[in-house]
A and B are shown apart, each in its own frame.
Chain A
């Protein structure tokens, strides 16, 4: 039986965004992350260019 779920390896900004988009389409996603929290490198950033918005 073919599956209708998706596996995403890595819970940084790219993995999270892809997971959210798939989730919004009604597709079940498994997001795999090696650290205790998702967010990846982006969670360590303070503000982002070019608008100096806060990342979290």
Chain B
């Protein structure tokens, strides 16, 4: 959205619509274009754990069911010769000439459902996120567990996934070094190959997992608030991991387990009784790694009053729910106020009303929520917006 003005019942907005370079009315989402596209790009949807093509869909079931060209990587947009996708497309849907355009809207009400962003755990250097390969975020874990994810649901360690990709590359590099008679380079590459082959063979699946709660939440350095859904989220991931692989052992490091919600406490208890999860009360001080890239967690067990360390296969961080980085621009455009955490400001008695009459909010845009609560709020926000449409905004004036 680039422009916004007006009052309740009669807002004007200009929305910038980006080109897909694929004709939406013709594309049948058969996927022939992506199959033949020569350009491979790290797949953001799976946090770079696999690759996608320059013409792609975020995920197989994605709606609208249309492919999109990423102009930052597509060879045609980089001024190189290609056009393979246009050649193989039977529906003739590829259109490199498609342009962005603006849409002018006139609406009675607006709902801000801009969601959240995962807390960037590199801000906590002692947890090693981004440096230690087998320390991952809660959403990366979701992709690893997903049958439609980069590993088809096998809980492979990122060091193994990257190691396998590198092993595929290495024979080419070794052949090149042999041709160039680069003895030092060759010895180095061979050593790397040997180490990786051994590593990938010995550490295929992650079976001993550590979940670290409150990463960036309830932390005076970052967010003082509780992100609310992460306790249940980690328990769920541990239960699903155990369903995939019955030998999985999971340790959940927590301050308090806040399982508030319908059926949530029972779920936590079932996690311990049926799925063998171990809940350890204590903050993790530091994560390091041993020579096999296993994360080593150093923590205080506050129930036993001891400081301990535990070697695990993989550590999953329960990243806090942060306000999206670009939300101040959106808020400025709409004229709505934000609270001290950059969530959309609401009133306790009118939890979906923003500071501007006729603009409502729901979901994580207004603060951390789980899915059932987001859905409930969304239905309420829809009812509030419908009120404005049906009364021309008079309902809010009272």
A residues at B contact (CB < 8 Å): 1-19, 21-22, 25, 27, 30, 32, 35-52, 56
Most chain B beta-carbon neighbours within 10 Å: one of A15, A50, A52: A50
> A34 — nearest CB in chain B belongs to which residue?
B18
Given the complex of chains A and B, what is the CA–CA distance between A19 and B61 in angstroms? 19
Given A22-B385, A47-B240, decide whether A17 and B379 contact each other with a Cβ distance below 8 A: yes
Chain B at the A interface: mostly helix, strand, loop or mixed? mixed
Q: Evaluate contact between A9 and B111: CB separation under 8 angstroms.
A: yes
Most chain B beta-carbon neighbours within 10 Å: one of A47, A48, A52: A47
Q: Evaluate contact between A2 and B392: CB separation under 8 angstroms.
A: yes
Given the complex of chains A and B, what is the CA–CA distance between A35 and B383 in angstroms? 26
Q: Evaluate contact between B108 and A5: CB separation under 8 angstroms.
A: yes
Q: Evaluate contact between A30 and B105: CB separation under 8 angstroms.
A: yes
Given the complex of chains A and B, what is the CA–CA distance between A11 and B112 in angstroms? 10
> B69 — nearest CB in chain A belongs to which residue?
A36
> B13 — nearest CB in chain A belongs to which residue?
A7
Chain B residues near A47 (CB-CB < 8 A): 145, 236, 240
Given the complex of chains A and B, what is the CA–CA distance between A19 and B142 in angstroms? 26
Q: Evaluate contact between A35 and B116: CB separation under 8 angstroms.
A: no
Instruction: Give which listed residue, B105, B142, B393, contacts A5 with CB less than 8 A.
Output: B105
Instruction: Give which listed residue, B20, B64, B263, B363, contacts A15 with CB less than 8 A.
Output: B363
B residues at A contact (CB < 8 Å): 1, 9-11, 13, 15, 20, 45, 56-59, 61-64, 66, 68, 103, 105-116, 139, 142-143, 145-149, 153, 232-233, 235-236, 239-240, 243, 261-264, 266-267, 330, 362-365, 370-371, 374-375, 377-379, 381-383, 385-386, 389, 392-393
Give B222 Cβ to nearest chain A Cβ, in Å.
19
Q: Evaluate contact between A7 and B58: CB separation under 8 angstroms.
A: no
Q: Evaluate contact between A14 and B377: CB separation under 8 angstroms.
A: yes
Given the complex of chains A and B, what is the CA–CA distance between A44 and B116 in angstroms? 13
> B324 — nearest CB in chain A belongs to which residue?
A10
Given the complex of chains A and B, what is the CA–CA distance between A47 and B143 in angstroms? 10
> B383 — nearest CB in chain A belongs to which residue?
A21
Given the complex of chains A and B, what is the CA–CA distance between A46 and B379 in angstroms? 24
Give B213 Cβ to nearest chain A Cβ, in Å.
15
Chain B residues near A52 (CB-CB < 8 A): 236, 239-240, 243
Instruction: Give which listed residue, B58, B106, B145, contacts A37 with CB less than 8 A.
Output: B58
Q: Evaluate contact between A14 and B375: CB separation under 8 angstroms.
A: yes
Given the complex of chains A and B, what is the CA–CA distance between A3 and B378 in angstroms? 21
Name 13 A/B residue pairs within 8 A (Cβ), A-sorted: A2-B392, A6-B107, A7-B105, A13-B374, A16-B378, A18-B111, A22-B386, A27-B385, A39-B59, A46-B143, A46-B147, A46-B153, A50-B261
Q: Evaluate contact between A3 and B362: CB separation under 8 angstroms.
A: no
Give B104 Cβ to nearest chain A Cβ, in Å.
11
Q: Evaluate contact between B374 and A17: CB separation under 8 angstroms.
A: yes
Chain B residues near A48 (CB-CB < 8 A): 236, 371
Instruction: Give which listed residue, A2, A14, A39, contacts B363 with CB less than 8 A.
Output: A14
Give B122 Cβ to nearest chain A Cβ, in Å.
19
| Given pairs A6-B108, A37-B64, A49-B232, 16 additional interface contacts (CB within 8 A) | A3-B107, A4-B389, A9-B113, A10-B112, A10-B115, A13-B363, A14-B364, A16-B378, A18-B362, A21-B382, A22-B385, A36-B57, A37-B58, A44-B142, A46-B149, A50-B236
Most chain A beta-carbon neighbours within 10 Å: one of B64, B147, B261, B378: B378
Give A20 Cβ to nearest chain B Cβ, in Å.
8
